[in-house]
Amino acid sequence: MWCVARLEISRLFLSPFAWIMLALVQFLLAYMFLSHIEYFAQIQGQISAIPGAPGVTEMIIAPLLSNAALVLLLIAPFITMRAFADEHRNHSLPLLISAPLSASQIVLGKYLGYLGFFLLQLALIALMPLSLLAGSAIDFYQFGVSMFGLFLLVASFLAAGIFLSSLTTQPIIAAVMTFCLLFLLWIIDFAAASAVSGQINWLAWLSLLGHFQPLLAGQINSVDLSFFALFCVVFILMTIRRLDAARLSL
């Protein structure tokens, strides 16, 4: 399993793709980070008089990580599209299949590989809020929980992306499908907001955003954690099934 993860990470970093992704995402978020600071600096004088006014963590870090979530939603499909669609097109899947590995080891190995890549991305993103320590105190608990939430969110993106990548032999189709699915799940609670109150709001429950926002505010609900865990497990299991089925049907 670890050897598959290692292969996947080294393949990512040997192509310029991963480096460009890391650099551009960092650039985009740095721009947003600076504009959040700018805004905070402008209104700081006015809100400092209000008791219980939001601080740096609420005003800069939370919006930054919220932006980061959206940017990662955009790039995750481009990483996960490689998982199986690319291998199919490249005819390189037999290498993994005829190695002494089970389907679950292959899928989990790839998943962990991509997760490793995004952990690095998240570490780079975390550096920006941490740089605020130079001039201000930040709420480490809220920051920690938000980063954890972002990690869970990315883990879900990857699980869905790997599954959709195993369905097709065209990487681009896999990327587009992943993007559409994730985006739909992101915005699905727009519709839910207008639903009649009192009904069980299952659309809102499906929303990735709806489960991410409490974490961003520093709130850990077991329902959110179980949602992300279920989401990942379901998609990973479906991918393993799919890989096994490919052997049976072709």
Kindly give, in sequence order, each residue whose CB lies less than 8 Å from that of residue 34, ignoring residues fewer than 6 positions away.
none
Q: Which span sits near other proteins by CB under 8 A: 21-29, 57-65, 99-107, 151-159?
A: 99-107
- The Cα-based distances of 243 to 44, 105, 152, 213, 238 in angstroms read 55, 11, 24, 34, 9
DSSP string, 119-173: HHHHHHHHHHHHHGGGTS---HHHHHHHHHHHHHHHHHHHHHHHHHHHH-S-HHH
Give the separation between CA 156 and CA 71, rounded to whole angstroms. 15
Residues 26-45 that bind other proteins (CB under 8 A): none
CB of 170 to other proteins, least distance (A): 17
CB of 185 to other proteins, least distance (A): 32
CB of 87 to other proteins, least distance (A): 8
For residues 85 and 173, the answer to whether their CB atoms sit within 8 Å is yes
Contact map string, positions 70 to 89, toward other proteins, x by CB under 8 A: --------------------
- What's the length of the chain? 250
Closest to other proteins by CB, 52 or 100: 100
Q: Name the amino acid, one letter, at 85.
A: A
CB of 9 to other proteins, least distance (A): 11
Q: Is 20 in the site for other proteins (CB under 8 A)?
A: no
Q: Which of 6, 58, 173, 205 touches other proteins (CB under 8 A)?
A: 6
Binding residues for other proteins, rule: CB under 8 A, are: 3-4, 6-7, 10-11, 14-15, 90-102, 247-248, 250
